[in-house]
Structure formats: structure tokens, C-alpha cells
Structure 1
Amino acid sequence: MKTFIIILVSYLLIMAPRLFAQTTIKGKVTDAKGHGLPGANVFLKGAYDGATADAEGNFKFQTSEKDTATLACTFVGFEAFSKKITLSQQTIEVSIKLREAVNELNMVTITAGAFEASDERKTTPIKPLDVVTTAGAAADVTQAMQLLTPGSQRNGESTGMFVRGGSAQESKILIDGLTVQNAYNTPSPDVASRSRFSPFQFKGMAFSTGGYSAQYGQALSAVLLMNTMDLATESGHSVNVNLAGVSYGYTHLTDKLSFSNNVNYTNVTPLFKVYPQNITWTHIPEQFNYSSSFHLKPTSASLFKVDAVYATSQTGMLFKNVGDELNLTEYGIRNKNLLVTSTYQNILDKEANWTMKTGLSYSYNLDKINIGNLYLEKTEQRSQGRAVFTRALGTNSNLLFGTEFSSAQYDLVVDQTQINNGSKNKYGLTDNFSTVFSESEFYVTPQLAARVGLRGEYSSLSSGFNVAPRFSLAYKTGTYSQVSLATGNFYQTPDYQYFYYGNKPTFEKSTHYVLNYQYIRNQRTFRIEGYYKNYASLVREMPATEGYFDANPNRFPVGKTDNTGFGYAQGIDVFFRDNKTFKNGQVWINYSYLDSKRLYANYLTEAMPTFASNHNLNVIYKQYISKPMMTASVTYSYTSGRPYFNPNNTVFLADRTPDLHNVSVGVNYLTHVKGNFLVIYFQADNVFGFDRVYNYRYTEDGKSRYTVGPTANRMFIIGAFISISKKKQLPEDMRKE
């Protein structure tokens, strides 16, 4: 919530010019006799732009792609259509005539475990605009994914995505295929932190909650894939001042390249004045951020991108220390973070049968933390390279193979010299990681599609090599429905903190089994998915004292470890989206049931993990109003109680927190004033003031405890932003026609 302003500013500075400069592609899809084909899927290959033909077969959509592109169309019972077009005009009209295919049904798509923002796949599209207009998401990519898609839950006091009974460490975020080492701002005790990204940095997102592609690894549960924007669409300067801070940006665009620079200073002191805080801040969160990008399109078939973000921040607070009889202890963080990504992609032959995608990245993160008189200095560096080659095999099949390497360095300094003449110790680790993978997606028949992959990984830190097969299958059961299944092995190097004291744990492993049914018709989507996930070789800690359990989530493991841990997670996810019933409205409903237990880390026995809950429900309604141009959103969320450790209960992790309820609302008013783009917005969280208990923390003797809850009982913000622009009209995709 506190950085929602920043996201809107980013939208004004970055996305509004891009959307204004889009090319409109429209036309009609017909059969050989000239009859319109309602429901035909029209899209640009290799992009996230497209539309579904209306009742007469007409279609219309916008794209920010430049130069040339390949327009494609698919429809039930007809052969696939593709045509190269030149994007040289503001509006392009194309007539598409499809040829009927004897006994051919609409091409089936692998959907088990995946929610993709791609018009090439008839799954559930999630666009950046969905993220910003979802009440309760605070314009954060990961929070929006947890609200819009089933299987992932939010834990108010913990940072990260918790997917299908998996810990936050088991889910990875990738940008243009490259792993993000520090995807979230460094959190404070029992205060969840948001991700570092604006949704409008990306042209599309795909969230896989299980059974994902062999192209990716090092995640036992899930991956969130995000692809950055291509060329900018307008040159210009921008300056914004608001309650959260001040920012300046400059973008320069030519026919073949664009580069931009942005600086931002954030201090949330004015926002904290709006609503009372439940904790004492010794240093109000503040951050300085600088970002730069250079994107070059040498030819219509190639693209080179370099993006860099540097941020420095500081936060301080007082927290109740269970190790010191709940006395207040100072906790301070000073963070520096750098992420540089570079990608190059190219079509290697005139027939566009071979494509190449390569990438390099470097990340650096420094945390200087003080916990009372204990001082920690954590440094993480990661260098990564990646290359993928894809060979098209006919119209809808392909074979890809690739390789990836990375070198990660972890350094830790523990300074206890101010605690009873303690010592100062330094630790260092290096993990050289490499992998090769291959995968093929092909059609056995028009009704039956398969994807087979194999991935091999080596980690110097784990001193081991693994081989992970992956397999997916989808069958078209009807014109609008299909079933999919997926299975595979997934490996992950254990938390690097386990290696500091000379332990050598091997890869942790999970095996996924996913069965999915999907029905899409008349702008409505229904999905139900069952899954079973088996955990093996999880790291277990051997306590120095038999039967002792340390419930501190920030504890540092110092004892012996092995890989004898195990567990399971099983459940059902249900998703429904309706864009038809309510005029200019959208309904999103998702529900998850989870049954999970595991014996891992310092757990005393097999139990449901503290980050998991049995039931999660999200109901979201969005209304688009044309006059005046507004978007309104309401979100209701329910989470059943989670386990917590009660030292007074002889049954391990048998207690449950109270159920959580939350209602959030959001309103955005969109207009222009003499050519200046204007947004007036209002966001409110927990509007009915529900009591929310995230966890309980006990003192070591079990005699006292305190309640972990949100930093504020209610949060709301109202503001207005204006960006100077030559355009006299709002972006078309900000309206609902």
C-alpha cells in the first residue's frame, strides 16, 4: 500500500507514452464462404498482443511492436493461419480467411499448473493492468498473483510466495529467463516486504504453480516468469512529486533504439501520518532508486536489451524480542541492491525455423543489519549466463535445447564483540552451478498434445548432479474444454546458510503430479486442478538439546544437518473468471484446499508447516466505467488459520491462528487535462476493520506471548498525478468498450 503511489508514477512515466503510440490491428475472420467465425484466436507471434473475434468474426487489438510481425489465427476445425505484416501505419486492417480442416479440432494447449499472460495459449491471461486494478494487491506483481490465481497464499508477516504447501524459498522469480537473486526488499521482523518490480516493466507474465517446463529449475514448487518490454515508443522528460517522494525520468527513442534513465527518492513519512502504526519506527523506510535501460533492435528479427536497477534503502524499528522476555529490541537494515540484465534474441534463418535467445545477468545485494548489539553483514553476488535455441517443427511443434551457468558468492560477517566480549566471525561460500536442458512440444493428433523435457543440473556447493525428467499431456475433450496432466522431478540446492558450518547437504527434491480440467467459452473461464507433491531429501537439523524447538523464523542454523527430511502436499485449486455476465465488469473467483505435512528443518515431528493453511478464497470484482472513465475494484479474501508453535501444548504445531478476513477497495479516475494525462486514485485495505492475527510468538519459558499482526489496522491512500504529454486521449486499453 505504501508504495502504490510509486507504481502509479511509474505507470505515468513509462507506460502511458507506450500505450499512446500503439498500432491498432483490426479485421475479420471468415471461412471460405465468407461467414464470420466468432471466437477465433488472433495474435502476434512472439508477443503478448491479440484478441478473440466477436459474434460477427471481427477483431481489434493494439500492439507496441514495431517494424514487422507475424499475425496468426487459430480456430476450431480450421487450419492455422499466419501472415507477415508491416507495422508502419497507425491502423492496419487485415482480412483472414481460414481453410477448414477435416476432422480437426481446435489445437489443444498444455495448461496443467500454468497461468499465462499469453494470447498464443488459451489459458488465463493476466496483464499488467490486471495487477494495478486489483484492490488489495497494492500494485505488486507477486501480491496480485496470489489474489488472482489459486494455489498461492499470502502470509501477512512473511515475505514471498507460498505455493501449494511450499515455503517461500521454493518459488523463484525470473526476468527474461534469468533468475532474480534478491527479488524482494529486505524485510524486518514479522513485517512482509514487497517485490522490487513494477508490473509495467513487463509485457507479459506466466505463473506456474507446478509441473513447469524443463527450461527452468532450482524451485521445488513454482516459478514466476516475467518478460520485459521491448522498445520504448516516445521520447520525453518527466517529473513527479508526491507524498511518497520525487522522481525524474528521461527517455530517448529513435527508429532502432531507445534508452531511458530514471531517479526516484522515496520517504513514506507523510503516508504513515495518514494511518496510525502498530509498531515503533526508529527510521521511517526510505529509498533511493536509479534505473537505466538501453534497448536496440538492429533488424526486424532481432532485439538486444540491457536493463539496470540500483537501489539503496534504510529502515529501523523496535520489535518484541521473545529471547529477551518480550523487551523491545532495535532492528535496523541498510540495504544496497544492484541488478543488471542483458538479453539478445534473433531469428537465425529466413524461414524463421531457428530462433536463439541468450542472456547475461549480474546481481549484488548488501544487507547491514543490527539486532540490538549484534551486527550482521550479508553480501550476495550472482553472475548468470543462458542460451536457448528453438527449432520449429511444422506449424505447432518445436524442439528446444539450451544451457545455463551461474556463479553465486555468499559472504557473512557476524559481529558479537559488543555482547559480553563476543567474537567476530566471517564466513564465505561459492556455488558454481550449471545445467543443460532439452524439451519438445508436439501434437500426436490435433486433439492430443504432449511436452517432454529433460534437465540436468550440477552444483559445486551440493557436490552433486541430478537429472530431472518432465512430462505433460493435454487432450481436447470438446470444442471448449480440455484436460491436462503434468508430472516431473524438481530439484533445489538447500538454503546456503546450511553450508556455513561445514555441512554438505545434497539437493532437495520434489515430484509433482498435476491433473487439470479447463473450460473456456463466451468470455468465461473455469478451471479445476488436483495435485499431489511428494518431498524427499529435505534438510533436517539435529538439535543440540533433544526435543528443543526454536520457533524464531530468523534463527541461524548452527548444528549438524542431513537430508532425511520428507513430506507431501495435496489439494484442489478452483478458478473462475467471468468477463460476460456484468456489462463492463469482471469477476475473478479462486479457491484452494491444501493438505500438507512435512518433517524438515528443526521440526520435531511431521506436521503441517506454519506457513500453510487449509483453505484460501479470493473473490474480486472489477467495474469499468466509460463516463466518467473510471475503474473500481473490490476484493474479499479469506484464509483459514495456520499452525503456530505453543510450547505449552505437548502436541507439536497443533494450535491454529484465527481465520483471516479482509475487504479491500480501489477506485481510479482516468482523464486528461489539456493534453496532460491525469489519474486520481483511492485505495483502502481492511475497510471493515477486521481483527487480523498472523501468528503468536512465545517466550522460551512459554509464560508470555505476543500477537503478530499488521503494521496498521487499516490502510488507505488518496492522491492525484499528472504527466505532461502531447497526446489528447487516454490509452485505449485503459477503457472497457
Structure 2
Amino acid sequence: MYKKILIIMVFIQNCYYSQIKISGYVVNEYNKPIENVNVFIDGTLFGSSSNSKGFFSFEATSDNISYFKVIYQKDGYDNGEGEYKVKLGELDLGKMMLYKGRTTGIEGVNIVREKKSNEGQLSALNPLDLILTPNSQGDVLSAVIKSYPGVQLNPNDGRLFVRGGDQTESAVLINNMLMSSPFGTAGPSIPARSRFSPMIFSGVSFATSGFSSEYGQALSSILSLNTKSNDVDREIELSVKSVGADVSLNTKVNDNFTLMTKVEYVNLQPYRALFPSRYVWNRDYNMTGGEIAGTYKLKNGYFKSYNRFDYTNFDYQRDDIAISNKLVNTILYEGNIYSNQTINLNLNKVKFFSGIAYNYNNRNIAGIFSDQDKSKVNNNMLHIKSELSFTPIKNLNSTFGAEFLNVHYYIDYVDKNNDKNRLDRAIDNNIVSFFSDNSYKFKKGFSLNAGVRQDYYSYTRDIKISPRVRAEYKSPNGVKYSLYYGQYYQSPRNGDLVFDFKRDLKSERAEQYGLNIYYEKNNRTVFLDVFKKRYNDLTKYVYAPNSRQPINFNNNGYGYAEGIDFFFYDKKTFNNFDYRISYTYLDSKRDYQNYPESATPPFYSKHNVTVNTQFWLDAINSMVGLSYLFSSGEPYTNPNNGKGFQNSRIKPYNSVNMNLTYLFSNKFYIHASVSNIFNFKNIAGYNYGGLSSNGLREEQVILPVSDRFYFLGVFYTVGGSRSTKDKVKDL
């Protein structure tokens, strides 16, 4: 009650402050207007965005200050800023010129929904970064894994494993709304790919260290993608690739409405005919998909829509002595639909955001845990979210929000080899959440962000409160020091809840704290983060005798993860050449699921190194990329050495990758890439069968689908106002 009265009094007080109408316009280095530039007064929520003519206008209060700083930000451009003297009435800021730039992927100050994101959130990779990261094959999440510290290199899985967490601990959002099935389903030893088309997004933001209380259902990280507002004339892009083809249309329907659409088809059968894999394919991997995204500008904001569908199927035979002495036939049919609608409004001194997202996923899969098993799985999600942001007093930004999440999960599983392995059950889990974030800027470079989140879980019948805080100091020489602490909760996996007939499980918990240092000057960036994470209340169970059915569920699991993330980025030393180096040291153990004891999980290694380079060669009109990936090797259980659980490690993973983008003309280019050019013989793991005559179990080496992957694509653009050369050289 007192808080409400205080806020009302503050707003009444603000009414007596003098009003200033601020206007101006933004252009690029060619003196052409730039649309959708976020313009705001530093330290406040006063701001707007530029229109198609580069013009912006908004109102603010003077608040008895003499000078104020205005920030100009847009994905793909270097930030602009200017300091101005307060002038009552109307203030024309004139022209601000922004230059094309490239974000580092580490600095945490970027604009999300026309407000500044929390420190610790990694700023966006641009779409061409995602395509040109060697060995990413244009996969959004693959480019993140092969670019940023804190992410485990796991090339035979493909999903996100962050700071000691498993693949369920990272949340993926589009336009600030959740997506429950961001990866396509893959078979054993086949890496999963994300579902997204990189060119439809303006960038990718990645948070691992102390993300704000706005985000829940994630113990380890948040990956946020924002669809772009098209600012080009009508443009059609056609591509024919070694793995399929696609066509996309980007158009500005009118001054207020922009539209982006894409249809794609992927089929690896022609590729396998030239480059066979280690598996026998009855029907090779093929996927049909489509996307449509639009932005409609309103008087005081904008409405965004993103929608995608895809259908995937494959049928292959693999050798797995752990479950059968004959070839195992693995088959998948999967359909996925995702729809996301959001609205952003600037209501004078209050900013309003609201959205709704729905994810439908249906898959039929056979040959995973047994050569005779089959399962049908429905995994559907509904997410509704709203929030208000405002400035109650000078230098304090506050956000209050609520969200609702419904998850429906159904599984029909049968194993003809064992009648005990049978389940036909559905569950519904509703999560109601409230959150608040408050950021205050002190004098002399100090700032503090504090937030709290409350979640109610209907299926596990528990309420959790998670405080989070981040303190930052920016020294006079530009070095940023940040201390952070946070508690994070999420529901147990759907696959565990559906077997928990007694509903004994509660939500799982992680507690993380650390220190990071960030410095950027003269186009060089250094980032260092020292962290520690503690896990509690992790899911534990055992398997019923002679069955794969888990029983005796409890929350007695625990674990820890601690380490160092390091990132160095240099685009200054060499002309037309930049490189980034990422390194992670991780010490992690956990006792969860059916682990007999605390141990390092099989999806983590102690050391991960990635080196990515890109350079432009004018002599051949091409962009060349090289990368090196190293992982020191994950643990596994070798029953033949008699030393217990997770007692051995596979050999280190190494891969050197290369790509080349050659421009034939302003609208026509070829992109080619090859992974593992030195043909390192990497190992994915080991399987063990029955006892041999010597008393040891038969051992089988699990190898990648193939040691090397080749990609060739031909891309042609019809229409549009910018040449392909300009797009590529903007990198």
C-alpha cells in the first residue's frame, strides 16, 4: 500500500517538472535516413525510435538538470551519443550519424524492447555472423556454441550445455517469449540443429552470468533472439545448397508494415550419395519448413509477429551393442508449430510490453532405448507475459511484470522386448510468476540492479522466491567490474514428471555468484568472468528391477560448477582481419537422476577453446573464415577398468574449419565451407555389450556420423537497395 502511494506521489511530482519536446533525425555514413533507431536519454526511460525518414520525437521532463546525454542504438551499427544542454520547450538535436559496426558478443548494453537490458547479457551476434562462423552451417545455436565462453563444445549433440548444466537448463526466447522446442529432434550420435533461420533475426543475445529476475525456468542461461524490422525495399533471396534450397521475401508493404517470409527444404540424400556417412539410411534426413514474421508500427510503439512450422523425418540403421547385437532401426516423424505475437507501447512515461506464444510439437520415434521400442510424444506450451517499465525517481528504472506458462506433455511408450517398459500418460503443469527489477545509477560510475521473482508451480505444488542482484563499477579508464548473485528455479524435466505418479518432486534450484571484468577500447575487447554455481533439489530416481521405468523420485540431488570464462576480440590490429578467442575452464560434479554417486557428467570437459577468424580479400572479392575448436574430452564409464562410475575420459576433440564467401556480383555469391579440414579422428563415446570369454565386456567406439562435412550454397538476390558486397563487408 505504501509503495503504491509513493509511486502515485512521484508521478504527481513529475507533473510539475518542466516538459521538453526533443526531436532530431538519424542518418548513416552515406547521409541516408536510418529507420528503427532506438533513441533515449541515458539513465531514464524517456525515448522513442526513428521513422522511415530517420526522424524521431519524444517528450521528457527537465527534472532540474542542466545537461543530459542521448544514446542512439541500432543492431549492426556502432552506438552514437551526444550531450546536450537543457532547453525548455522544444529542443532540436539536429542530425546524428551512425556508422556500420560489429558487436563483440560480450558487452551487455543493448536495447531490448526500447529499454536497456541487464548487465551480464551478451550483446547480439548479427545474422551474417551466424552464417559465416566456420562449421556453424548457418545454425543460430551452433554459432553461439562455437563463439562464446561458458558453453560446452559437444559436436555430437548440438544442444546448449552451459556452466555445468544439462540441455534442459537453457531457455530460448524469441521477441522475449519462450519457445519450448527450439531444437529439432535427432537420433543417437546425430547432432541436433536449431529450427531458426538466421537472416530473419536482427541478432542474438546470450546471458549466463546473473540474468535478471524477468527470466525464469532456466538454471543456467538465457538465449534471446529478436526478429528484425525490415528496412529494405522489396527483396527476394534465392538459394540452392548442397543440402536443399530456400526462397525468402523481404518487403516493406507500406510505411508502417514490414513483412518477411521464407520457405525451405532440406534433404541430405543427394549429399550422402557423394559423401556417405557411417550409418545406413533408409530415408535420409529431410525437413520442410516455413517462416513468416512481420512488424506493424503503431502511433506509440509497434506490434511484432513471428510464426514458424517445420516437418522432419528420417529412417536409419545404427550399430549399438549396448541394446542389441543387430542393427537398430531408428525412425523419426516430427511436426512443430510456433507462433509468437508481441506488442510494445510507449505510454508517455511508462513502457508497456505484452506477448503470447504457443509451441506445438508432436513426434513419433522408434529405436532409441531398444531395437523394439516406439513412442509418441506431444509437448505443447502456452506462454503469456506482460510488464510495465517506468522511472519513479531520477536514475531509477523499475520494471514489474507477470507471466503464465502452461505445459502439456503426453507420452505413449512401448517396448516389445519388455512389457514392463510401458507408459501411456499425460500431465499439465501451470506456472504463475511475478517479477520486479530495479536499476539505480549512483554517482562516480556505480550502479546497482536488484530484482526478485516469485513462481508458483501447480504440478509440483510449491512456491519459490528467487532474489537476484548485480553491482557494477565503471572506472575512469573504462574498465567495468561487476559482482552478481542470483537464485534460479525450474520445474523438473517433463520426462521425469510424467513418471512421478506420487507427485513427490519439487522444483530444482541453482545458486550462482561471480565477478566479471569487461574492457573495450580501440576496437579490442577483453572479458573475464570467475563464477561458482551450487545445485540443490535436483531430481533423483532409480530404475525398477529389469525395467527402464524410473521409480522412487525425490529431490535429494545436488552438484556444483565453478570455473573461468575468458573472451578476447580484436578487430584493430590487422586491416580487414578480425579474430576472437574464447576459453572456458570448468570443474563440475553432480549427483542426480540415477547416478550412483557424485561425478562429472558425461557432457562436460574441463577445457574448451574456440578461435574464430574472418578476413576480407579484395584481390579475390571474398570473405574467408577459419576456426579452431578444442575440448579436452568428456568422462564416461568404462566397466572394464574396475574403477567405478565415470572413471575414464575420451580423447580430446580437435577440429579446424574453413569457409569462403565469393562475390560474383552485387546480387550473386557462393558460400562454401568444410569442417575438420585436417581430418582429426574424433570419438563421440563408447558402448559396452555383454561379457566376452576373457571376462571383459565387449567395447564399441562411437564415432561421429562423418569425420568431415562439406557445404556449398549459391545465393541470388532480386531487388533490394543494398548490394551483397555491402552486406558482407559490413562484418
* TM-score range for the pair, normalised by the shorter chain length: 0.7 to 0.9
- CA shift, 1:356, in A, is 0.7
When structure 1 is superposed on structure 2, of 287-296 and 164-173 the one drifting more is 287-296
Residues 157, 694 of structure 1: 8 Å contact kept:
yes
Task: Provide the residue aligned with 2:698 in structure 1.
Answer: 704
RMSD: 3.2
- CA shift, 1:611, in A, is 0.7
Alpha-carbon displacement from aligned partner over 1:440-491 (angstroms, at most 9, x marks no partner): 1111224101100000001112111100000000012332202101101000
1:710 aligned counterpart, secondary structure: coil
Pair 1:686 & 2:676 matched: yes
- CA shift, 1:433, in A, is 1.0
Paired residues for 1:726-737 under 5 Å: 727=721, 729-730=723-724, 732-735=726-729
Q: Give the Cα–Cα distance (whole angstroms) in 1 for the partners of residues 658 and 651 of structure 2.
A: 23
2:142 aligned counterpart, secondary structure: helix
CA shift in 2, pair 1:525/1:249, >3 Å: closer
Q: Of the candidates 630, 633, 644, which is equivalent to residue 651 of structure 1?
A: 644
Q: Give the Cα–Cα distance (whole angstroms) in 2 for the partners of residues 556 and 433 of structure 1.
A: 29
Q: Of the candidates 561, 579, 582, which is equivalent to residue 574 of structure 2?
A: 582
Residues 159, 192 of structure 1: 8 Å contact kept:
yes
Task: Provide the residue aligned with 2:383 in structure 1.
Answer: 384
Q: Of the candidates 664, 689, 694, which is equivalent to residue 657 of structure 2?
A: 664
Paired residues for 1:457-496 under 5 Å: 457-496=455-494
- CA shift, 1:313, in A, is 1.3
- CA shift, 1:155, in A, is 1.0
Task: Provide the residue aligned with 1:345 in structure 2.
Answer: 344
Residues 142, 158 of structure 2: 8 Å contact kept:
no
Task: Provide the residue aligned with 1:328 in structure 2.
Answer: 327
CA shift in 2, pair 1:606/1:320, >3 Å: same
1:445 aligned counterpart, secondary structure: coil
- CA shift, 1:200, in A, is 2.0
Residues 27, 95 of structure 1: 8 Å contact kept:
no
| AA partner of residue 692 (structure 1) | N
Q: Give the Cα–Cα distance (whole angstroms) in 1 for the partners of residues 327 and 72 of structure 2.
A: 66
Q: Give the Cα–Cα distance (whole angstroms) in 1 for the partners of residues 461 and 524 of structure 2.
A: 49
Paired residues for 1:55-66 under 5 Å: none
- CA shift, 1:612, in A, is 0.8
| AA partner of residue 682 (structure 1) | A
Pair 1:358 & 2:351 matched: no
- CA shift, 1:199, in A, is 2.0
Alpha-carbon displacement from aligned partner over 1:367-415 (angstroms, at most 9, x marks no partner): 1112243221001111110001100356754100101001111111123
**Structure 2: segments with no counterpart, 5+ residues:** 1-24, 41-48, 60-65, 87-104
CA shift in 2, pair 1:293/1:378, >3 Å: same
CA shift in 2, pair 1:125/1:177, >3 Å: closer
- CA shift, 1:318, in A, is 1.1
Residues 413, 422 of structure 2: 8 Å contact kept:
yes
Task: Provide the residue aligned with 2:63 in structure 1.
Answer: none
Q: Of the candidates 557, 561, 569, which is equivalent to residue 569 of structure 1?
A: 561
1:478 aligned counterpart, secondary structure: coil
CA shift in 2, pair 1:422/1:394, >3 Å: closer
1:271 aligned counterpart, secondary structure: helix
- CA shift, 1:262, in A, is 3.2
Q: Give the Cα–Cα distance (whole angstroms) in 2 for the partners of residues 432 and 295 of structure 1.
A: 30
2:28 aligned counterpart, secondary structure: strand
Residues 38, 72 of structure 2: 8 Å contact kept:
no
Q: Give the Cα–Cα distance (whole angstroms) in 1 for the partners of residues 302 and 325 of structure 2.
A: 56
| AA partner of residue 686 (structure 2) | Y
| AA partner of residue 255 (structure 1) | D
CA shift in 2, pair 1:329/1:439, >3 Å: same
Q: Give the Cα–Cα distance (whole angstroms) in 1 for the partners of residues 332 and 708 of structure 2.
A: 25
CA shift in 2, pair 1:378/1:45, >3 Å: same
Task: Provide the residue aligned with 2:515 in structure 1.
Answer: 515
Q: Give the Cα–Cα distance (whole angstroms) in 2 for the partners of residues 444 and 718 of structure 1.
A: 53
CA shift in 2, pair 1:420/1:493, >3 Å: closer
1:149 aligned counterpart, secondary structure: coil
Residues 598, 607 of structure 1: 8 Å contact kept:
yes
- CA shift, 1:247, in A, is 3.4
1:163 aligned counterpart, secondary structure: coil
| AA partner of residue 509 (structure 1) | R
Pair 1:622 & 2:618 matched: no
Task: Provide the residue aligned with 2:534 in structure 1.
Answer: 534
| AA partner of residue 533 (structure 2) | K
2:572 aligned counterpart, secondary structure: coil
Q: Give the Cα–Cα distance (whole angstroms) in 2 for the partners of residues 276 and 427 of structure 1.
A: 40
**Structure 1: segments with no counterpart, 5+ residues:** 1-21, 29-42, 48-61, 73-77, 86-90, 101-112, 549-554
Q: Give the Cα–Cα distance (whole angstroms) in 1 for the partners of residues 359 and 406 of structure 2.
A: 11
Q: Of the candidates 584, 601, 623, which is equivalent to residue 592 of structure 1?
A: 584
Q: Give the Cα–Cα distance (whole angstroms) in 2 for the partners of residues 491 and 537 of structure 1.
A: 10
Paired residues for 1:3-402 under 5 Å: 24-26=27-29, 44-45=37-38, 68-69=55-56, 80-82=68-70, 96=82, 116=108, 118=110, 126-231=125-230, 233-235=232-234, 237=236, 239-252=238-251, 253-299=253-299, 301-349=300-348, 353-371=349-367, 372-393=371-392, 397-402=396-401
Alpha-carbon displacement from aligned partner over 1:530-577 (angstroms, at most 9, x marks no partner): 0000000011113446xx9xxxxxx96522210001110000111100
Q: Give the Cα–Cα distance (whole angstroms) in 2 for the partners of residues 619 and 254 of structure 1.
A: 43
- CA shift, 1:71, in A, is 11
Alpha-carbon displacement from aligned partner over 1:263-284 (angstroms, at most 9, x marks no partner): 3222122222332311222211
Q: Give the Cα–Cα distance (whole angstroms) in 2 for the partners of residues 331 and 83 of structure 1.
A: 54
CA shift in 2, pair 1:69/1:671, >3 Å: farther
Q: Give the Cα–Cα distance (whole angstroms) in 2 for the partners of residues 46 and 560 of structure 1.
A: 56
Residues 537, 565 of structure 1: 8 Å contact kept:
yes
Residues 334, 368 of structure 1: 8 Å contact kept:
yes
| AA partner of residue 434 (structure 1) | V
| AA partner of residue 161 (structure 2) | F
Q: Give the Cα–Cα distance (whole angstroms) in 2 for the partners of residues 629 and 117 of structure 1.
A: 34
| AA partner of residue 662 (structure 2) | Y
Q: Give the Cα–Cα distance (whole angstroms) in 1 for the partners of residues 245 and 30 of structure 2.
A: 44
% identical equivalent positions: 25
CA shift in 2, pair 1:719/1:525, >3 Å: same
| TM-score when normalising by structure 2 | 0.83
2:327 aligned counterpart, secondary structure: strand
Q: Give the Cα–Cα distance (whole angstroms) in 1 for the partners of residues 205 and 548 of structure 2.
A: 34
CA shift in 2, pair 1:84/1:474, >3 Å: closer
CA shift in 2, pair 1:67/1:630, >3 Å: same
Residues 242, 712 of structure 2: 8 Å contact kept:
no
Q: Give the Cα–Cα distance (whole angstroms) in 2 for the partners of residues 720 and 359 of structure 1.
A: 37
2:141 aligned counterpart, secondary structure: helix
Count the aligned residue pairs: 649
